[in-house]
């Protein structure tokens, strides 16, 4: 386990990283006095940690979660009250979201309790979201005179469609985990308190898959959603063909024919 920057928190790090196995990292936001709300310090620590993990070749999956019974209840309103457009730019308040978008690891959000505002946007940056049954998702920024500014309007419309996204963002009303599942906003809903365990099991499954195929799938799905269908199909076909030049393709197919478990080497 590693802690980043525990000064000013009574010895407790507001962001920590655990490595249950070499292929999986768990990043935990631990700011319970504010329901894990994102302030600039926490966002910078998250960005630093994501960037430090980027160079680890053996790492396959990063799980993001919150300590206690909350994921992230939002961005710290007290810190934002007196901010100006210039201060947002100078302080790079969206740096963590750039770090998430730049990550080449599979990202899984394990959500308990609230994922609101910046917390919802943090989860939406992930490839998969596992939610506890009582979790709630929302973009309540409109209720304090602003709007989502870290991908909420764009990711939601691409994920759940215009009409559901408009309702959620224009009213600021949260949705339950079950509603989010029905909308296609989360991957799975589990019993309260089990989101992290379920995310770890999911991460272990993905970590056991051929790394080059995982990366190709993730890249094609990310790139394909913003281009015309014919272009996206061409991207998919090219990536599909390129995987036939890998040892993992040979191993996977031979293992299938030989009725044994494949051993993927990432090459």
Strand 106-111 relative to strand 128-132, pairing: parallel
Residues 6+ apart with CB under 8 A from 36: 29, 30, 66, 67, 68, 70, 71, 72, 73, 119
In the set 56, 112, 141, 230, the catalytic residue is: 141
Count Cβ neighbours within 10 Å for each residue of 237-252 and write b for 16 or more, e otherwise.
Answer: eebeeeeeebebbebb
Which H or E run includes 148? none
Instruction: Based on the residue annotation, tell me whether 121 is a catalytic residue of this protein.
Output: yes
Strand ranges in 6-93 using DSSP code E only, listed in sequence order: 15-21, 24-29, 61-66
CA distance 175 to 183: 10
- For residue 50 the two structure tokens come to 């994501």
In the set 33, 121, 230, 236, the catalytic residue is: 121
Closest CA to 34 of 119, 99, 98: 119
Strand 136-138 relative to strand 114-116, pairing: parallel
Instruction: Based on the residue annotation, tell me whether 173 is a catalytic residue of this protein.
Output: no
Question: Which residues are known catalytic residues?
Answer: 121, 141
């Amino acid at each position: 386990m590693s802690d980043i920057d525990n000064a000013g928190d009574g010895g407790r790090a507001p962001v920590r990283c655990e490595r249950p196995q070499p292929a999986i990292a768990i990043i935990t936001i631990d700011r319970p006095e504010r329901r894990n709300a994102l302030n600039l310090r926490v966002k910078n620590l998250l960005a630093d940690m994501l960037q430090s993990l980027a160079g680890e070749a053996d790492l396959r999956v990063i799980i993001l979660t919150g300590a206690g019974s909350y994921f992230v209840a939002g961005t710290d309103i007290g810190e934002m009250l007196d901010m100006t457009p210039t201060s947002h730019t100078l302080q790079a308040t969206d740096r963590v979201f750039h770090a998430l978008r730049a990550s080449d690891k599979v990202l899984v959000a394990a959500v308990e309790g609230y994922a609101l505002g910046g917390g919802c946007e943090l989860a939406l940056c992930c490839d998969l979201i596992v939610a506890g049954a009582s979790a709630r998702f929302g973009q309540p920024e409109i209720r304090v005179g602003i709007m989502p500014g870290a991908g909420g309007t764009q990711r939601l419309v691409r994920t759940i469609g215009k009409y559901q996204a408009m309702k959620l963002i224009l009213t600021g009303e949260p949705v339950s985990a079950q509603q989010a599942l029905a909308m296609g906003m989360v991957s799975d809903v589990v019993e309260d308190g089990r989101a992290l365990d379920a995310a770890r099991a999911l991460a272990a499954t993905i970590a056991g898959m051929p790394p080059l195929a995982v990366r190709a799938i993730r890249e094609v799905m990310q790139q394909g959603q913003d281009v015309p269908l014919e272009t996206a199909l061409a991207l998919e076909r090219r990536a599909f063909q390129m995987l036939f030049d890998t040892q993992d393709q040979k191993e996977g197919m031979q293992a299938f024919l030989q009725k044994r478990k494949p051993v993927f080497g990432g090459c």
